[in-house]
Structure 1
Amino acid sequence: MKGMMLIVIEFVSDIDDNDWEKFHSFLIKIGRGSKIIIVSRIKRLARFASVKPIFLSALSHDELRYLFKIMAFGSVDPTEHPRLLQLADEFAKVLHSMQASLVETTVFADALRRSLDVQSWCGILDTGIRFLKRNLSLYGMQPRIALLEQGHPVDITDVTSHPHIIAPYTMNASIEKPQSVTATELLTDPSVRPKGDFILILWESRIPPHESFVYFVTSRAQDTHHGSTLPGRKRRGVPV
């Protein structure tokens, strides 16, 4: 392929400098004058930039609080549920302290929207708080940062009610696909957890090409995890 190209790459974890140099050199060979735009939440990747990077700030607490309420209540008037409205504020505080992504915020909101019940919301809030505290004590950093930037498996014992960790998932057509469950299903009912190792679908787009964020879940007792340093992303219908 010859000629100039514009390539947009989204990185969900840091990459090795040598790997970047190989890719960059290859690009120069096939299309001199081509441009690359890097999209990522990882500031360290700015070292590859040839121009001043543009940093987009995270949502403020008030912005996250507003967005979360819209997603959690849907078409329901929040003022009709004053106690749930208070709990939504608590959720927003926890999510903001977690530096939660929009995907993680959507997962919690979706779980809450399924049942406008105070006891259910309190249970999910407690799960989120315990999940955050456990991983902060293990790694001294937010779970998302530990997984995506540092490559640590994240402890989700508080979500599954069983000693489990999640790690990046890599597709492998030669291996039988484990059972899967969505994060929303686990949050609302941990008993749906498959026996043994399984695939956790954190989020899946409802529109084509149905991109998803998928992770591998295994027992902490095994003290091992599968996959590469990059979280697996797959499309529906692709064999794994």
Structure 2
Amino acid sequence: MEAFFKALLGEKAFLLDNNSKMIAPTMEGKKLHNLERLLLHVHVIVEEAEGRYIMNQAMVHQLNVLRKEMYRGCFIVDNLKRQGTESNNYKGHDVSNSFILSKFNPVKRLFLSDVDIHRETDLQQVIDNLSNIMEDVNGIVVFLNNYPPLYRQPYSMHLFIEKCMFRCQMEMGRIMAFLMQKEDQGCVGVLPIVGPTFVGKSTLVANVCNDARVRNYFFQTILITAHDINSENISTLKDGAVILHQNNALDQNNERLLAIIELSGDIDVVAWNSLLSSSSYLGRVSKMIITSRSDKITKFGTTQALVLTFLPLEAYWYFFKISVFGSIDSNDHPELQSIAMEIARGLNGSFVGANVTFSFLKDNLVAQYWRRYLSSFREATQRNVSLFRESPYGLVCDCKPITQLIRGDDEFAVWGRYHACPVEENVPMITMKDVIFGRGNYEGEFDVLAWKSHIPPYNSYIVKCVIEKSK
């Protein structure tokens, strides 16, 4: 494997040396070149690790540290390149130059970061951090060879990201350790998972439940929603629960059951105690995972709660760039990369926003089209900040409506609250693309398909839309 790494790194280093000739021989340019070389080494190791079935949690933690610093380094490199080309990218194009130049614009501040101000300090800091971490690289390379690959064929990082939950290796390992830990007879282990709307709580749990180790360990996995939990129907909870998986190969007389409980908010102590006392109706419940937006559920856990937060900007940009460009090298499209970074900054870490954006951009890598989309994105951001003092996808996370102009200046759409539903349910035929591009004469209030998830639980995300006339 070490020989493979050296050969791959040598090929990439050759390409990097050719590209580096275009960088001005300034101190910042030299540091940027050094950082790019370090990132090549780190990227090869992280990509190799992503494709392997790693069970050692200490190694997962070490890789997570390396991965976070890689995200930060990639963001700094791309941000510096964007700053060097931004004015040229938009010269002569009608994309609201006053919006770009005014740093006092409240919308513009949404797209600025501390990296713009302290870029040289951050550049040197991330170089030092990566250099220190890379001292342990040889050990990581040796250990990676001991773990079996997840795939039997070569894969690209964008394909891997589309088929897994991004940046949740640590969290999945934590849940897996909880599920595999044996409880005392008659005891029920409870793991609370809390986080804001659309941060990925249900998606994370669904991906863990889809793991072969969980499917082979538990006889049955059931889903209980907030609607099912009340003191009146607690005795028939098993009949009302949804069976997510059942392993008939296991001995039913020695069954282990996993209950997933999804709450939108809090649950009172009386209902919770009734739920625990009803375990005899559910079989021998050995584990429970309870998810909610409210951190008040942490008091019901038998182990420390898992708290999910939105990705930091550096990690979100890495996810966004890999997903929107796919197998295409974004460095070959500097203007598109600059546009993508500005859009990513305005999405506030929203996975819903990212996936909706991918549906518009990833199959149409044309600069004129992307500039037009960016102009519309800025207009929507300005409008919502002016009306509600918040960006559109900040409003989405707060479950508030957002507005967006369609069909010129004549009409606008009010996007209501998003909700998720299984793919087998009735999904609207109207997509967000249809509404924005005017594919049909839609009026009044109707449901719109925002996007379909490609990973468990494979939900379709539906949004309520109202078309109104501009005043």
Relative to the length of structure 1, the TM-score reads: 0.66
Cα distance in 2 for residues equivalent to 1:82 and 1:220 = 38
- Tell me what 1:136 maps to: 385
Asked if the contact 1:181/1:200 (under 8 Å) is kept, the reply is yes
Q: What amino acid is the match of 1:70?
A: I
- Tell me what 2:327 maps to: 75
Q: Structure 1 residue 158 and structure 2 residue 405: aligned?
A: yes
Q: Percent identity?
A: 24
Cα distance in 2 for residues equivalent to 1:164 and 1:39 = 32
Structural mapping, 1:66-215, within 5 Å: 66-95=318-347, 99-147=348-396, 149=398, 151-152=399-400, 154-158=401-405, 162-168=411-417, 180-186=429-435, 190-196=437-443, 197-206=445-454, 210-215=458-463
Q: In structure 2, do the counterparts of structure 1 residues 79 and 8 end up closer, same or farther at CA, with 3 Å as the change threshold?
A: same
Q: Deviations over 1:96-117 (max 9, x none)?
A: xxx2322321221231112111
- Structure 1 window deviating more from structure 2 (193-202 vs 120-129): it is 193-202
Q: In structure 2, do the counterparts of structure 1 residues 23 and 7 end up closer, same or farther at CA, with 3 Å as the change threshold?
A: farther
Asked if the contact 2:396/2:402 (under 8 Å) is kept, the reply is no
Of 12, 30, 37, 2:289 maps to 37
Q: Structure 1 residue 7 and structure 2 residue 255: aligned?
A: no
Q: Structure 1 residue 48 and structure 2 residue 300: aligned?
A: no
Cα distance in 2 for residues equivalent to 1:20 and 1:124 = 46
- Tell me what 1:59 maps to: 311
Q: Deviations over 1:83-134 (max 9, x none)?
A: 2122122222222xxx232232122123111211111111211222222332
Asked if the contact 1:204/1:212 (under 8 Å) is kept, the reply is yes
Asked if the contact 1:204/1:213 (under 8 Å) is kept, the reply is yes
Q: What amino acid is the match of 1:113?
A: K
- Tell me what 1:238 maps to: none
Describe the SS at the equivalent of 1:157.
Answer: strand
Q: Deviations over 1:189-208 (max 9, x none)?
A: x2125411332211113478
Q: Which has the larger radius of gyration?
A: 2
Q: In structure 2, do the counterparts of structure 1 residues 92 and 205 end up closer, same or farther at CA, with 3 Å as the change threshold?
A: closer
Cα distance in 1 for residues equivalent to 2:328 and 2:371 = 19
Asked if the contact 2:435/2:442 (under 8 Å) is kept, the reply is no
Describe the SS at the equivalent of 2:311.
Answer: coil
Q: What amino acid is the match of 1:66?
A: Y
Describe the SS at the equivalent of 1:100.
Answer: coil
Q: What amino acid is the match of 1:27?
A: L
Q: Deviations over 1:62-85 (max 9, x none)?
A: 222222121111222223222212
Structural mapping, 1:16-27, within 5 Å: 17=266, 23-27=271-275
Relative to the length of structure 2, the TM-score reads: 0.37
**Structure 1 residue 147: deviation in Å?**
4.3
